Structure 1
Amino acid sequence: MRLRARWLVAAPDDVVEGVDLMVEAGRVVARVPSHEIHTSTSEPFELVDLGDVALTPGLVDAHAHLDLTDLAGAVAPGASFPDWIVGLLRARGAATSEASSAVARGLERLATTGCVAVGDIAASWTHGELDARRKAGGPITRTYLEVLDAGDDARGRAAVERALAFLDGDGAAGQVDLLGISPHAPYTVGDATLDALASGIASRGNGRSVPLQVHWAETPEEEAWTGGRTGPFDALLGPPQGRGRALDRLERRGLLGPATVLVHGNVPDDVAAGTGRNDCGGQDDEPTRIARADASVVHCPGAHAFFARAPFPVERYRAAGVRLCLGTDSAAGNDDLDMRRELALAAAAFPHVPLAELWGWATCDAARALGLGDRVGVLGVGRPFTAVAFATAARSRERVLDELVRERPEVRASWIEGRQVVAQRSPR
């Protein structure tokens, strides 16, 4: 198949006009100027002219809770974050749909809006549920098995043991290489559970890192509670616990590294300003330590707006060199599962950030954070053909990125590893 598009956006710094992609057996085999004839030892390539589109690697959602898809609009933000959590638990308890059905609907929404891969937190993960996720099709899914203890160390250790067993081959068929673990958050995971996780990972002995995703530094309220200060979390979790900064707890146990994704990061400490204590990194603040560990931070602009949170400290992360990504979070705490919207919100919030950099947050940077950099995020020769064609009226490179980042362009077609997911659509 020879795919022709007005623009090829192979990577944030690789935007070209008049170049066709040659695709064979689900992989990109060549890039050819549109005016040239390409010869191959295989059968002649069928020309597929996509018209006025930008052919891109597709969008990557670095953080989602797809099992909450059916709770869209069910929970108000509340006076505090713990209020929202209480409302979410009630709504979840009253829900009548199966988690697997909600996940399938979430994957469908992501696919139709241009997403090709997602990092999803699975609150429940039986063999049947994981198999249903696999069969749902749509975006490639890195499924993080949620682990928490809510103050019960035995519960936490048992959850860690079970999660590691799934990663070692006891998971759903075809899913083992796409599983990770999510020690949920500093306020729901105690030190005993983190110890069990660190010990279990170390004892695997196969040299492979375990993909981790952790809700971190999301609100000042959680930082107060884990720091031993009273606040809104008291009513939800009981008396505050002086567990210390979450990043310290992860780093001490070897759980902060290239396979670690920290979600939200709205309130990192600032050692120089005296707003936090640093037990592991000397005088370095948290963004610096995250960058040094080559970990990633996911910002969820839609959720940020939903909760009307203070401005995200983007410049602290950029100055430190932290890999930033974008995510949708959940339909219960956002207005849509649409990575195009997340990009547009990020562009509006951070007008000083170059468009190419923002595009990277939703493509190659997010893919790398999820450990999927060899499968998605870049349209390169020799790589799997995973792509999304977005409608465009652009006539310059700068305008292409502007449309992709700011204007939520229509999805005309999409493919995931050679399989067409969204059939080619005619212009409206």
Structure 2
Amino acid sequence: MNTIEIKKDYTTRWILLLAILTAIAPLSTDMYLPALPEMAKEFGVSTLMMANSLPAYFLGIAVGQLIYGPISDRIGRKKPLVFGLSLHIIASILCIYVDDVWSLFFVRVLQALGSCVGLVLARAAIRDVMDTNSASKAFASMMIVMGVAPILAPTLGAWLLYFFSWQSIFIALFVLGVVSLIWVFFGFKETLVEHRRLKISFKQVGQLYSTILKDRSYLFPMLAGCFSFGVLFCYINAASAVLMGGFHLNQQQFAYAFGFNALGTVILSAMNHKLAERFNVIQRLQLGGIIQLIGAILLIIVGLFPDFGLVLIMLGLFMAVAGIGLTAPNSTALAMSQQARQAGSASALMGGLQFIFGLSSGLILNFLFWSPVMNMAISMLIFVVFANIAIQATVRYQQQQSLTI
């Protein structure tokens, strides 16, 4: 099998493939958000009940990533990619033919178990062949392409609903899976060479994860990235209730509003390259955390004073979501910087915890009893505050290491 040698640069085609593989999972979430009311009506359940398919999907993604990571460290990156994409394709077809909500939940978990493979192995592949600074730029480039997914996905889903039934969304996901599988089969070169693979048994996986978590060079930026990413899950879980329920946006309007907020991620991911000329990785991570904090505070203000309306909500959401364009690539690059041979497991652990945090965001929202806007604002503020605490812990650790050296 062909291999990619260690390098400090990357081709646009390669990063585009990795970005598409990473985007399959969020596309499978965002594309069908506008269809939740229609699907709820067809299955005879409430929209809230139908929205519980999101936590089910997040659970599948969290568990799947924890499985793929150690396997890819043992056998390489390409074979798990082929398996995961194949499972995504099969599950997407099954979603079309389900006839009750519980069957949908089950099949969505299967779909998540397949689609999450790209989340793990794209990060691992970049770590296989790049140093920290180059990896940060590569992750940012990947985030630009990934950022287009939540912009286009709800819009595409809304337009498919305009002309066809909700099943057409899963047909589109099936087609995406087929195209990705063909591209991986013929265009993805193995990045983990034989001599760097871990000879690890399944019994040792838990011990490996424990060892990775004890490494503070990984733990602090990983937590920063997970808490920061939790803001996005708060948004996904609450967006329909806030924008469609609270402000009565229709499916198309919701799609445009959802895409507008995701545009911020693309903008700041693109800026990451320019900012790299003046600021280091940690400084860019700090800037992203500050932007998210300002956005969360604006949303709290709207929750307290509803008369400020939709404009200030959109500004607050834009900043809270946009900050991920800086926190995600830089926290990932820092967390993965010392994880050489176990890059797949480290990537899986980070990705799995991100979606566990996503599940917790849904639980937090269910326990809050104020308005949908205030509930979303409070849950976002919780995640942003903890993200910034983790960022400062990362800064202190890096400073201690510099003093030690």
Decide which structure has greater helix share.
2
Query: Of the two structures, which has the highest relative contact order with CA contacts closer than 8 Å and spacing of 6 or more?
Result: 2
Class of the TM-score when normalised by the shorter of the 2 chains? under 0.3
Decide which structure has greater strand share.
1
User: Normalised by the size of structure 1, how large is the TM-score?
Assistant: 0.23
User: Normalised by the size of structure 2, how large is the TM-score?
Assistant: 0.24
